[in-house]
Chains A and B, each alone.
Chain A
Amino acid sequence: MNTERKANSIEIISHYTGYVILCISLLMVLPLLVSILFQEWNPALDFLISISISAIFGLALIMLGWQRKISKSDFQWKHGFTVAALSWVLLMFLCAIPYRLSGHTPSMLDSMFDVMSGFTTTGVLLSQDLDHMSNGLNMWRHMLTFIGGQGMVVLALTFLVKETGGAYKMYVGEGKDIELMPNVKGTAGQIWKISMVYLIIGTGALWINGLLIGLQPISAFFHALYIFESSWSTGGFAPMTQNIMYYHSVSYESVAIVIFIIGSFNFGLHYAMWQGNKKEIVRNIETQSFFITSFTACMLALAGLAKSGIYTDAMAGFRRVVFNVLSAHTTTGFGSIYARQYALEWGDFGIMIMVIVMLIGGSACSTAGGFKGLRVGVVFKGIIMEVKKLLSSERNMKVYKFHHIKDYVLEDSVVKSSAIIILCYIVLFSVGTLLGTYYGYPLSHSAFEAASVTGNVGLSIGITTPSMPVLMKIYYILAMYLGRLEFLSVFAMIGYLGGGIKKACQKTLKSSLSH
């Protein structure tokens, strides 16, 4: 065998995709151990089967490029984007195996829906009977959302992939482009350090709260861990059907609010604050944008619902309105009211506020979804810049800037690229809304659900159920996936695969004509 031959594109992509798959499949050992600890033998067997299938598949992919020489220059941007986008699709199938084997989902499509919802930190779900779900599967659901929030490629880069020129390209392909350290492995490690420190603090705070509201110590610990993982990853999964309402506790909800707001911030912001740059949180265009839009949305929703007389006191307003608006804005998806209450009590005004904040979302390079505060801020400043240019006598002379970790010049290209991504989100949301109305759901309900999946939020107005049309399930999976990877990786993968197929067809046609 010629071991010196350079790897071709398929071998490069399969090699690195294999690493990501192997890394995630090895993580199933944790829910397996939890199942054994709680003597849940059937779920343990489910995880054993799932680990075997995923690990064999991952190793097979790694072996394809194992003995080939992959140099820094061989690994191009198209490979990085394709590895990131392809890993997510393949893992959606593999990570759905324990769901399907558990019987909590009626079909494989429903299992994959829940896995994609977890990976993308959305939080809508089709799993049934959560209250009787095994501890192992509950651990797996919340791990998926936690890993998805930090990024699966980021995880693989931290622990498995050696430092290569391709690492940064895979990292960007997963929708994260901030450089905290000079090398991407260091950056990935830093992201995990920030998340793990908050995991200890947040789980501890929720555990103490759980004990105070009467949960048993072990149960309080697992509830705290799951709620932290969902809050920090702006996921929205909870171990019980009633979601955050299960705890009936204002302090539990308040701790969750603080965690999910911090979780929706950019990892670059956390890092800057941790380096002693105190003013970053108030100077950053993203946090400025978030504080302004979330405050305004909370006040408008409160004013609208107070007028209708649904919530009559401040505490009810805070727990039922502010909590849900902040949960939607940070794209978390914890709900402190039942899904149908949005439809029956909130009215069109309340629903529209929720749709807008769900679409705006959290910060770029965080665990949150949506347009992202950075893009909203840049486009808003871009509009102001254009107006000022029109009014100014010294046209085109002044340099406009915005602050995001450091000062950037507000160039037309930056505004344009932000506007394009926002436009992509709006198209995705509009098609989702249209699809809902096609199947007979009211416009406002369809818009609510479409905004929830497009912005990776997870709140539901009651449309997302196992009985919803199959096409809507598929579209929602696609919307969650595209929204989370911010379009470019997926478009690059489609373009790359499409180009490959076209080339192969042309080659076949050419050879058949020559014969």
Chain B
Amino acid sequence: MELNKNEIKGILEEVAIVSCFVAMIYLVSSVIMM
């Protein structure tokens, strides 16, 4: 099972976007909980 450059980039982008979304929820939740 080999991955080409596009596939590796795709995985990294998916992980990055979802992580940013979770981080954003955390930041907004800290404002709500203040």
Which residues 268-306 of A sit at the B interface, judged by CB distance below 8 A? 270, 273-276, 278, 281-282, 291, 294-295, 298-299, 302-303, 306
Q: In the complex, how many angstroms separate the beta carbon of A381 from the nearest chain B beta carbon?
A: 22
Per-residue interface assignment for chain B, residues 1 to 34, with 1 indicating a CB less than 8 Å from any chain A CB and 0 otherwise: 1010011011101110111011011101110111
Q: In the complex, how many angstroms separate the beta carbon of A365 from the nearest chain B beta carbon?
A: 16
Which residues 233-266 of A sit at the B interface, judged by CB distance below 8 A? 254, 257-258, 261-262, 265
Binds B, one of A93-101, A313-321, A424-432, A443-451: A313-321
Q: A322 interface residue, CB < 8 Å from B?
A: yes
Point out the residues of chain B lying under 8 angstroms from A275, CB to CB. 6, 10
Point out the residues of chain A lying under 8 angstroms from B34, CB to CB. 314
Point out the residues of chain B lying under 8 angstroms from A197, CB to CB. 1, 3, 7, 11
* Structural contact, A262 and B9, CB atoms closer than 8 A: no
Contact of A302 among B13, B14, B22, B33 (CB under 8 A): B33
Q: A465 interface residue, CB < 8 Å from B?
A: no
* Structural contact, A274 and B26, CB atoms closer than 8 A: no
* Structural contact, A258 and B32, CB atoms closer than 8 A: no
Q: A196 interface residue, CB < 8 Å from B?
A: yes
Point out the residues of chain A lying under 8 angstroms from B21, CB to CB. 261, 291, 295
Point out the residues of chain A lying under 8 angstroms from B30, CB to CB. 314, 317-318
Main secondary structure of the interface of B (DSSP, over half): helix
Separation of A193 and B22 alpha carbons in the complex (Å): 26
Contact of A261 among B1, B13, B22, B28 (CB under 8 A): B22
Contact of B28 among A201, A299, A311 (CB under 8 A): A299
Contact of A276 among B9, B19, B29, B32 (CB under 8 A): B9
Contact of B32 among A262, A278, A303 (CB under 8 A): A303
Separation of A312 and B29 alpha carbons in the complex (Å): 11
Contact of B13 among A278, A291, A299, A317 (CB under 8 A): A278
Per-residue interface assignment for chain A, residues 312 to 345, with 1 indicating a CB less than 8 Å from any chain B CB and 0 otherwise: 1110111001100010000000000000000000
Known contacts A258-B22, A274-B7; is-contact A281 B33 (Cβ 8 Å): no
Q: In the complex, how many angstroms separate the beta carbon of B20 from the nearest chain A beta carbon?
A: 10
A271 to B, closest residue via Cβ:
B10
Point out the residues of chain B lying under 8 angstroms from A322, CB to CB. 25-26, 29
A275 to B, closest residue via Cβ:
B6
* Structural contact, A313 and B33, CB atoms closer than 8 A: yes
Separation of A361 and B29 alpha carbons in the complex (Å): 22
Main secondary structure of the interface of A (DSSP, over half): helix
Point out the residues of chain A lying under 8 angstroms from B6, CB to CB. 274-276
Separation of A471 and B10 alpha carbons in the complex (Å): 46
* Structural contact, B18 and A258, CB atoms closer than 8 A: yes
Separation of A317 and B27 alpha carbons in the complex (Å): 11
Contact of B29 among A278, A281, A291, A299 (CB under 8 A): A299
Contact of A196 among B1, B14, B25 (CB under 8 A): B1
Q: In the complex, how many angstroms separate the beta carbon of A199 from the nearest chain B beta carbon?
A: 11
* Structural contact, A317 and B25, CB atoms closer than 8 A: no
Point out the residues of chain B lying under 8 angstroms from A281, CB to CB. 13-14, 17
A314 to B, closest residue via Cβ:
B30
Contact of A201 among B10, B11, B26 (CB under 8 A): B11
Known contacts A275-B10, A306-B32; is-contact A314 B15 (Cβ 8 Å): no
Known contacts A193-B1, A274-B10; is-contact A318 B17 (Cβ 8 Å): no
Separation of A312 and B30 alpha carbons in the complex (Å): 10
Q: In the complex, how many angstroms separate the beta carbon of B4 from the nearest chain A beta carbon?
A: 9
Separation of A295 and B22 alpha carbons in the complex (Å): 9
Contact of B19 among A198, A258, A291 (CB under 8 A): A258
Which residue, of B11, B25, B33, has the highest number of chain A Cβ atoms within 10 A?
B33
Q: In the complex, how many angstroms separate the beta carbon of A258 from the nearest chain B beta carbon?
A: 5
* Structural contact, A276 and B26, CB atoms closer than 8 A: no
Separation of A282 and B13 alpha carbons in the complex (Å): 12
Point out the residues of chain A lying under 8 angstroms from B10, CB to CB. 270, 273-276, 278
Point out the residues of chain A lying under 8 angstroms from B9, CB to CB. 276
Separation of A299 and B24 alpha carbons in the complex (Å): 11
Separation of A311 and B6 alpha carbons in the complex (Å): 43
A205 to B, closest residue via Cβ:
B15
Q: In the complex, how many angstroms separate the beta carbon of A191 from the nearest chain B beta carbon?
A: 13
Point out the residues of chain A lying under 8 angstroms from B15, CB to CB. 258, 262
- Additional A-B contact list (7), CB under 8 Å, known A299-B28, A306-B33: A258-B22, A261-B21, A270-B14, A273-B11, A274-B7, A276-B10, A295-B25
Nearest 8 CB-CB pairs, A to B?
Answer: A314-B30, A274-B10, A273-B10, A276-B6, A274-B7, A314-B33, A317-B33, A261-B18
7 A–B contacts, CB within 8 A, in A order: A257-B22, A281-B17, A282-B17, A299-B32, A302-B33, A318-B26, A322-B25
Interface positions of A (Cβ within 8 A of B): 193, 196-198, 201, 254, 257-258, 261-262, 265, 270, 273-276, 278, 281-282, 291, 294-295, 298-299, 302-303, 306, 311-314, 316-318, 321-322, 326
